[in-house]
Amino acid sequence: MASSGLARATDRGSAVTGEQMNTVIQAIRETPIIDNHAHPLLKLEAIDQHSLLSIVSEAHGDAIKGSVTSLPHQRAVQQLSVVLGCDATWESVQAAIKGRRRDDYTAWVAKCLSGIEAILLDDGLSNAEDAHVCSWHDGFTRSKCRRIVRIETIAAEIISSYCVEPKKSQYTTERAFIEVLKEFDDQIQQSLSDPNVVGFKSVICYRTGLDIPAVADTDSAQLSLASIITSHSLPETRFHRLQHDGLNDLLVHRTAELIGNSPGNLKKPIQFHTGLGDNDITLTKSSPAHLQEFIRTYPTVPIVLLHTGYPHARDAGYLATVYDNVYVDVGEVFPVVARHGQEAAVRQIFELCPWTKIMWSTDGHWFPETYLLAILQSREVLETVICDFVQKGDLSCQAAVQLVQNILFCNASKVYNLGLELPSPKGFDTVETKLQRPKTSSPEKYDLGVWKAFTSTKGEPAFVRISWLDYTSMPRMRMIPFKRFNRLVVENKPLDIGITKAALGLLQHDHIINTATPTGEYRLHPDFSSLRLGPIDGHVNMYGNFHEKNGANVSLCPRTQLIRSLELSAEQNISYLVGFEIEFVLLERTKPGSALSMSEGRYTMLENDGHMWSSSRFYVDKKLPQLLRDIVGQLDQAGIEVEQLHSESAPGQFELILPAKPPLEAVDTLLLVRDTIASLATDAGYKFTLHPKPYRDACGTASHVHMSLSNPYRAGDDKSVYEPFYASILEHLPALMAFTYPNPASYERMVDGAWAGGRWVAWGTQNRETPLRKIEDSHWELKSFDGLANPYLALAALFYVGVYGIADQTQLTLSDCTTDPAGLMPEERRELGITTMLPASLDEALAALADDHIVSGLIGRDVVERYIEVKRAELSLYSSMHAHEFREWITERY
């Protein structure tokens, strides 16, 4: 029987095809990895103060010199020499690394961290001032890096203040103990609410050992604190290392208690250093088995056992198997253990531990090479071990791929509540496919820490608004009474709102287009990152994204399209800053039935009284200066800075300039500012409008957008980055105009000689008569953009097309135009490459969009078809209106 069973296993193994095995190997080599435990990199000016030998050894002092004869060191030299293209000697590797630092340190860091999705950084090491802050590392990962807060570092900083600060040092032992614990609890609570913090870490293994008692000895802890305060009262004896009986145990217990008492979404994990370490560790107390009583005491607190527990890997795997709240990290053995030891440790973890309980890390620190070696070696070892399982028939190819994805990506995203989606292992999907991939819509996705921090400082409003912008660019929203919304938050219940699917097919008078239907419902999910006061007193506002009921993204959602365009840009290592200029006009309301209302309509211009561009004497009455002060003041209360405010050329026309922000934040801010101005203007007796051409013989009103793009591996003045981006936009500008000039009124503004961008496809350095004005390097301004555009859709379209140009290396064939293109002779325009005119109407722009298959393919045909249908329905609606009716219709709504 035994032999037949062996034959069956062998048959299963031999049945694996080369293509199937290649799928497994591809998953191992290409799955992006979430580094669930690492440390910051050193600043370049401090890097030579630390020994490069430490990249593969935990030894210190003279002992580290012997590491050059270890297998881990020799393997690292071989691997680094291949990457660096130098001889396979330590001396050559050192010289090559120094050369990379000198030539382009940023590019070398990017090379070393390639393949990492996000890093969770414990920044509590000593010499923190020598290292970069957490956010610096964002430039090298696809997703935002987050902090892991070290418990002992927090405690040491608090206790140190009680040693040296005159007032605190006079406290009695009992009071000092109470106050220290209170400050410690407060900082842990703040970290629990901080969205940038995703977990905690304890190095008690290094200090008093992992044999933490089930109940902390508070008497011993209080005696230890008294001893610390007595012994470290002088500056030269400053306290910095918590290694005291009772006290270390107590602080770990208090952290676990606070986590255990938190709502489900705030139950952030505690990482424990286990096993492998430097000579500070008492090896006999470093096995994770010592933590068993502690684990039992806190069954709802997620606990992560770091560093494979090496050399106690089986202990770590056992604990993660039998306790629901325990996870094991396979890190640090890469690269400080030899290959055969790494393989043995990983196999021991797999002996009984579910792969849903295993996570990956580098334990990278100080040097980028630590990350590089960990990535190379872990992928090598996983390939050896997992392919062996598959060949022997212990694991199917499908299960093997799932195992890899769980260990390298999915488990960390779930345990640390990162909300990250795994890209396809075979490369990136089309826009439509990625948008339709289901996303969980559980309340744990909401950043409730932001909500609690916000309400604790801003008070209790009357309403919470969840807002969106439809295809006609009409701002819409739902209001939820604060008490109900807050109760849902506290009870950790879903916060999304059911909205009819017709919402993305409505016109301005609430009629729906032919292909839209009132049947079916989307879920509108608030994005807490957009939470701000306003736009009126007693309200707070968030912008939302539409999802299907199963959590899948809705490709028709304008805000989702912008987010997706940013993700695609990030895949090309491109990020943006965007700044908007808000031009608006204030009108007087005429009284119904008056002679003026019957002759001029419901609105009339303000008295001119010297109003002109940047005039200092534009005020027609005392209400205007007060209104402008109120606008800036209320925006300031909402945390929105106004850079400048000045009068524009048309009567009652002003421009408010917002600072540059990341695109999503910039658009959310833009929309809230508009609503705020509209509300305050109404209170002051005026009518606010974004009408692109409210007066036939005066300047029009735009919403110019400033864009700058950056690449962490290229300098800001690198034309090879930004010129293909803007070249592609210029090439497809006639189609893009359907998004940036989305209304017949938009084309009333599009005239030559009025600083409005003109009618020709062109660009020019500091030229306001071209649709694209180059300001400096990658900072350009798009002038053909007005307040009737949906800025989510318009920016998404621009970014899709621009990044396509970078990928395609589109050449900038148009030359720099330094004058008004309309004033040039035809042959002069041809010499500059200026041969294409912009669409003269919305109908022409929509036709250009329909014909531009590249733009449609990038954005998604479903989106383009819906957009064109909505716009053509608008045109049909407007066709029956007289000119003054159409003007009032737009003025009323925008």
- What CATH code is carried by the domain that includes residue 485? 3.10.20.70
* Average pLDDT estimate for 350-354: 94
What is the structure's pLDDT at 248?
92
- Residue 385 CB partners (closer than 8 Å, separation 6+): 343, 346, 347, 350
In a domain, residue 226? The reply is no
* Average pLDDT estimate for 171-179: 89
pLDDT bucket at 65, cuts 50 / 70 / 90? confident
* Complete DSSP assignment for 412-425: HHHHTT--PPPPPT
Pick from 230-239, 440-449, 884-893 the range whose average pLDDT is largest.
884-893
Say whether both 698 and 602 belong to one domain: yes
Pick from 431-440, 610-619, 855-864 the range whose average pLDDT is largest.
855-864
* Average pLDDT estimate for 27-46: 91
Q: Which pLDDT tens digit goes with each residue over 461-503?
A: 888 899 999 999 999 999 989 888 888 887 777 788 888 888 8
What is the structure's pLDDT at 424?
46
CB 787 within 8 Å of CB 708 = no
pLDDT of 696 strictly over 80: no
Closest C-alpha to 274, from 236, 219, 316 = 316
CB 743 within 8 Å of CB 874 = yes
pLDDT of 546 strictly over 70: yes
pLDDT of 430 strictly over 50: no
How many Å apart are CA 871 and CA 609, to the nearest integer? 39
What is the structure's pLDDT at 10?
33
CA–CA distance from 614 to each of 295, 442, 451, 698 (Å)? Answer: 67, 51, 40, 15
Of 126 and 560, the structure prediction assigns the larger pLDDT to 560
Say whether both 609 and 735 belong to one domain: yes
Domains identified in the chain, total number: 3
Q: Quote the percentage of the chain above a pLDDT of 90.
A: 36
In a domain, residue 287? The reply is no
Q: Quote the percentage of the chain above a pLDDT of 70.
A: 90
Say whether both 809 and 684 belong to one domain: yes
What is the structure's pLDDT at 4?
29
pLDDT bucket at 649, cuts 50 / 70 / 90? confident
CA–CA distance from 777 to each of 340, 709, 763 (Å)? Answer: 52, 9, 13
How many Å apart are CA 666 and CA 514, to the nearest integer? 33
In a domain, residue 230? The reply is no
In terms of residue numbers, what domain contains 808? 565-893
Beta bridge partners of 497: 524
pLDDT bucket at 441, cuts 50 / 70 / 90? very low
Pick from 150-154, 240-244, 590-594 the range whose average pLDDT is largest.
150-154
pLDDT of 603 strictly over 60: yes
Say whether both 739 and 869 belong to one domain: yes
CA–CA distance from 20 to each of 400, 403, 426, 673, 683 (Å)? Answer: 10, 15, 13, 55, 68
In a domain, residue 691? The reply is yes
What is the structure's pLDDT at 596?
44
Say whether both 639 and 768 belong to one domain: yes
pLDDT bucket at 684, cuts 50 / 70 / 90? confident
In a domain, residue 881? The reply is yes
- What CATH code is carried by the domain that includes residue 576? 3.30.590.10
Say whether both 594 and 512 belong to one domain: no
Residue 425 in tokens = 């292992």
Say whether both 815 and 760 belong to one domain: yes
Least confident of 51-55, 162-166, 596-600: 596-600
pLDDT bucket at 305, cuts 50 / 70 / 90? very high
Residue 81 in tokens = 């020499």
CA–CA distance from 644 to each of 659, 663, 705 (Å)? Answer: 9, 20, 15
pLDDT of 11 strictly over 50: no
Q: Which pLDDT tens digit goes with each residue over 809-819?
A: 888 899 888 88
Amino acid at site 851: D
Say whether both 397 and 480 belong to one domain: no
Say whether both 666 and 535 belong to one domain: no
pLDDT bucket at 614, cuts 50 / 70 / 90? low
* Average pLDDT estimate for 579-608: 70
Say whether both 48 and 140 belong to one domain: yes
pLDDT of 597 strictly over 60: no
Residue 753 falls in which region: left (phi positive, over 0), alpha (psi -120 to 50) or beta? left
- Of 417, 434, 463, the residue at which a domain comes to its end is 417
In a domain, residue 201? The reply is no
Say whether both 609 and 754 belong to one domain: yes
On average, the pLDDT of the chain sits at: 85
pTM across the whole model: 0.54
- Of 356, 383, 417, the residue at which a domain comes to its end is 417
* Average pLDDT estimate for 788-812: 90
Pairing verdict, β 603-605 and 532-533: unpaired
Is 552 exposed, middle or buried (CB count within 10 Å of its CB: 0-12, 13-18, 19+)?
middle
In a domain, residue 225? The reply is no
What is the structure's pLDDT at 601?
66
Say whether both 528 and 570 belong to one domain: no
* Complete DSSP assignment for 366-394: BSHHHHHHHHHHHHHHHHHHHHHHHHTTS
pLDDT of 385 strictly over 60: yes
What is the structure's pLDDT at 415?
94
- Three-state DSSP at 802 gives helix
- Residue 102 CB partners (closer than 8 Å, separation 6+): none
What is the structure's pLDDT at 456?
64
How many Å apart are CA 684 and CA 586, to the nearest integer? 10
- Of 532, 557, 582, the residue at which a domain comes to its end is 557
pLDDT bucket at 458, cuts 50 / 70 / 90? low
How many Å apart are CA 442 and CA 265, to the nearest integer? 10
In a domain, residue 244? The reply is no
* Complete DSSP assignment for 298-351: -TTS-EEE-GGGTT-HHHHHHHHHH-TTEEEEE-BHHHHS-HHHHHHHHHHHHT
- Residue 186 CB partners (closer than 8 Å, separation 6+): none
